[in-house]
Amino acid sequence: MSTREHLPRWYVTLFFSDALERFGFYGLQAILVLYAAAPAARGGLGLAFADAASLFGAWIGFMFMLSLAGGWLGDRVLGNRRALLAGCLTSVAGYLCLAVPAGWTTAVGLPLLGIGGAIYKPNHQAMINIMFGDRSRAREAGISLMYVATQVSALLAPLVTGYLGERVNWNLAFLVPALVLAATVVQLAVTAGQFGGVGDRPIKPLSPVERRAAGLRTGYGVAAVALVIGALGVLGTLSATTAIMLTGVLSVIVPIASYVMLYRDPGLGHDDRRRLRAFLTVYLGATLFWMIVAHAGSLLNLFARDHVDLQIGGFLVPASWLQTATPVFILALAPLIAAVVPRIGGEHNVAVKFAISLTLVGAGFLIMSLATVFAAGGDRISPIWLITVYLTHACGEVIIAAVTISAAADVLPSGYLGRTLGMLWLFAGLGGGLGSGVVRLSQVVPAPVYYLALGSVAALCGLGFALGRRALTRGLARSPVRAQPVT
């Protein structure tokens, strides 16, 4: 295949729009917990350690929890390409709220950012899958390349927002992503013709009856949320802790209920439901993986601030800059990743890649357990410890991201693509929601035990994927496949 075929104009557009959108996400990941934990006198939110550590996981959970609705919005209402524009515009509004130096604007800005990301991400992935069509190998290679390349944003964003936030002004740090997202909106608008009308209309538009029903359900949902918030305000229990806890609870309930609703969709056939049952294993594996990786933006970030020696040649490195380790590793390993990742696993592609990814992040947390032992005496430890953990995250992340997005395209018919991908991020949100509760255990469980337990669970689940690779492959097949003799 020629270079032109590998990089068509529509791919370049999606490539750069994702890189720009991810700049905001990775910038927020680098500083949100530090901003939340910073004293109000320094422009932060002044949250307690446990609340600050939980906030990032709760926000991730909130965003991913809405991703199924974001995918549905693209599939049934706006069209996938137009949904990209809607998501970016919503995120711009969210970052602008955070850039305003008033405490209440954070309570508005973070939900707006969650909604914007929830609309953008599943529809971006849907557009990639739709435009590549049935070329599965080209699709996975294209996703891998895009994932690697967007790490440039993951590298630059913490350097920019981290320095501005920790050294200059938190609000200024949020203004930069707002400008970057505004540029993304312009890019998507002027390149609309490259897609030949794909994504301008919903694949399976709502009928008038469905539109009325959706409007009523949305109205009831908004009213219920407003009622709960109003009641908490009247009772005097509306606080950051309460909001984090409610988000955590919802991020557990919503994925389960949404999966059941999708499974019972009358448009699905017997084989569709069989594949969806098998893919539930993938969803749950992704839940565990992202729950652990999300620690980079919460506990690991605070650990870097409090326990890592950040003095280099007389310069105090911002704690958020250690977040650049993961994209640096991905970029450094890019040639190897592009050559090897699509070939890993053979016919048991999905299961083997999940086994490798979960084992890697599990090993990283086992290393982290040892690092906390050395930091227990109060001495600051070498950043090499955290950098090694981020290396395991980087290798696991680039493997699992490409395979989950690509595999999701083959589970259900094309009219369900946005929802299948949205469900993937919904279960990742389950990981964030569970993580927002799990990190609180770090305040009552010794740190070495905390990381040892999570690392062991991940490694054992990786082993489970390896042992069950044949069963998962049969379950995901387009038609039932006979069991092969064990070799």
Q: Which of 42-46, 219-223, 236-240, 375-379 is the least confident region?
A: 236-240
Residue 316: pLDDT over 50: yes
Contact 30, 301 (CB under 8 A): yes
Residue 418, pLDDT score: 65
The closest of 151, 125, 72 to 338, measured between CA atoms, is 151
**What share of the chain has pLDDT > 70, as a percent?**
91
Report CA 447 to chain centroid distance, whole Å. 25
Residue 12: pLDDT over 50: yes
CATH T-level fold of 3-195+206-476: Growth Hormone; Chain: A; (1.20.1250)
Q: What is the arithmetic mean of pLDDT over 301-311?
A: 92
Residue 366: pLDDT over 70: yes
- Regarding predicted confidence, which is higher, 350 or 134? 350
Residue 27, pLDDT score: 92
Q: What is the arithmetic mean of pLDDT over 318-339?
A: 83
Residue 31: pLDDT over 70: yes
Q: Which of 208-212, 243-247, 360-364, 389-393 is the least confident region?
A: 243-247
Distances (CA, A) of 372 to 268, 300, 395, 430: 49, 11, 22, 27
Residue 482, pLDDT score: 44
Residue 448: pLDDT over 90: yes
330 contact partners, CB below 8 Å, separation of at least 6 = 147, 148, 151, 154, 337, 394, 397, 398
Residue 304: pLDDT over 60: yes
Q: What is the arithmetic mean of pLDDT over 209-222?
A: 81
For the ranges 89-103, 260-274, 332-346, 454-468, the maximum mean pLDDT occurs at: 454-468
**What share of the chain has pLDDT > 90, as a percent?**
33
Q: What is the arithmetic mean of pLDDT over 58-77?
A: 83
Residue spans of the domains in the chain: they are: 3-195+206-476
